[in-house]
Structure 1
């Protein structure tokens, strides 16, 4: 199979972090079948990153509510059938993603069985793979390759960040904090239940400056997160600095400059992993062994585990994040900084 042209559609529509965590799937396909063509259907800002992923040949933008609009549904069918698709991999395994595979006309449509496969996906896909809910998302998604006889090696992330963007990021970080490799913080999160208090991030920034003489740069996206960043800067008496507005590709380049990255379970955390920056992630309503930073070089902290449904966890307040004390985060950063020092020695 690896020597024959093979057109594969990946239907991971959202969210940004999950799309990033799916990139190793495309890398494994290209490694096993270099002549294959990979089309990726997406409906979120992760398109910016897929456009610079060398393992993806074509990106299709899917309207978020395409299933509710007959004209958009027919337009998606026409677009997907412009070129025959041999196989669909559906790592999202929801109705909206599995329906794209069905619309494509591909006879082989691989998704997850329940419980990872939800709604109508297990019926719309032709092959259902056991997606063990106790495995990390990256490992679980790798099992989708078994029906096409691909055994992936260590997960790989490939992003071709333009040289001019890397140069811009280096200059931007230096101008913000007068240091080439600060600790970078991202205080935002897709769910309010994943937010760690801004005043605690400010305490960490103050401690890093006092104990390790390391500056802190706060990245953000949107007005709300910019407000969080400004709160951290104010509460730390200006020790933490606020980064400028960035695209996702620019953010990837900025994260590449970081000594360490600190955040909750967010898209930027997965992006930091993808560009090779070590992460300390904070978890409350999500489990680090399932969706935390992938690999032994990272650390995760969880003090209170919230095991409700996805809807319940999304709609909760951030009590489980508030259970994480500043002292434990500082201890984790100390451990990671010590590891960096030993590696550099």
Structure 2
């Protein structure tokens, strides 16, 4: 039964946060875990994610246990969820099979958005809100799903950044040698695996040229497939350039990011990792909804989101647009130059 505030009467002792989604989405869900820990001291949090996001979750002090969608799919998912003995499961990212398993496992409190039809048959509590039309940041929207558990305060993205509980491991030895003493390390991450509108390799090439004054070590990162593409365009033969494309595990990439000075990327996972690590995170965005920085900007003490024209009429009309390409490489360089020395 709910209490006078509309929240469940019994304080939960163990909650599953379910977001089997991409790295950036998981990063922006970590403050939800932080708020739960603050509201319910002593609570246990299990995070249900994808296998490839496990290294991210392992860096979060608020996550006590990690289970993956792939592990559940390879086993008896209902028995596995039942064995966790959780009081509640919050579907931060709707997943039809997970919702069905959670109900069959008998998890007492199951919370999801009212905008998925299967939640009407699988969830005990449904929260009505629209992510697509909301002016709120993704990290703020995630908190709305906690309404059946607690009174959710109004928290700005800056305060939410302090709730992530994220800390990077030290860089691996082979990576530490790339980070020179007395020279700033800048990571350029040109690709997004199709998850964002990208700045373009021509702009990254111009930025690399601007950074070749001896003040910076430039490390270019990405998947093997992305590297095969960017190697045809980017000038990678300079004395202070490291091509790390396809060479790093996610754990190693997190360690590298945490030890660097700045990172430049579109709206993608490494950008959000950089923001959580407290380094200068420079995000390159389109102002078009729902991919605009108001929803997806990096959150952190030194996080920045750039657009070429906040009032772009094409983006305002919701049409595909390449105005992101007009963000000046010199504008990005100036932000890098002003980054605090680490």
**Residue of structure 2 equivalent to 1:186:** 189
**Residue of structure 2 equivalent to 1:121:** 119
**Residue of structure 1 equivalent to 2:65:** 58
Q: 1:122 to 1:294 in 2, by over 3 A?
A: farther
2:207 corresponds to 1:200: no
In structure 1, distance between residues paired with 2:16 and 2:195: 33
| Greater helix fraction, Structure 1 or Structure 2 | 1
In structure 2, distance between residues paired with 1:102 and 1:129: 17
Q: Deviations over 1:166-211 (max 9, x none)?
A: 3637623326xx765322111111217623322220111111234x
**Residue of structure 2 equivalent to 1:316:** none
- Give the match's secondary structure for 1:41: strand
Q: 1:292 to 1:193 in 2, by over 3 A?
A: closer
2:301 corresponds to 1:299: no
Consecutive unaligned residues in structure 2, runs of 5 or more: 1-7
Q: How many residues align?
A: 318
TM superposition score normalised by structure 2 = 0.79
2:100 corresponds to 1:103: no
| TM-aligned CA deviation for residue 291 of structure 1 | 1.2
Q: 1:174 to 1:141 in 2, by over 3 A?
A: same
| TM-aligned CA deviation for residue 236 of structure 1 | 7.0
Q: 1:65 to 1:85 in 2, by over 3 A?
A: closer
**Residue of structure 1 equivalent to 2:334:** 334
Q: 1:296 to 1:38 in 2, by over 3 A?
A: closer
Consecutive unaligned residues in structure 1, runs of 5 or more: 67-71, 314-318
The 8 Å contact of residues 185 and 218 in structure 1, kept in 2 or not, is answered as: yes
In structure 1, distance between residues paired with 2:195 and 2:94: 25
**Residue of structure 2 equivalent to 1:69:** none
The 8 Å contact of residues 204 and 234 in structure 2, kept in 1 or not, is answered as: no
**Residue of structure 1 equivalent to 2:143:** 142
TM superposition score normalised by structure 1 = 0.79
The 8 Å contact of residues 11 and 100 in structure 1, kept in 2 or not, is answered as: no
Aligned counterpart in structure 1 of residue 30 of structure 2, from 16, 23, 45? 23
**Residue of structure 1 equivalent to 2:217:** 215
**Residue of structure 1 equivalent to 2:5:** none
**Residue of structure 2 equivalent to 1:248:** 250
Question: What RMSD in Å do the two structures reach over aligned CA positions?
Answer: 3.4
Q: Deviations over 1:224-258 (max 9, x none)?
A: 12224534543675664212622222211111122
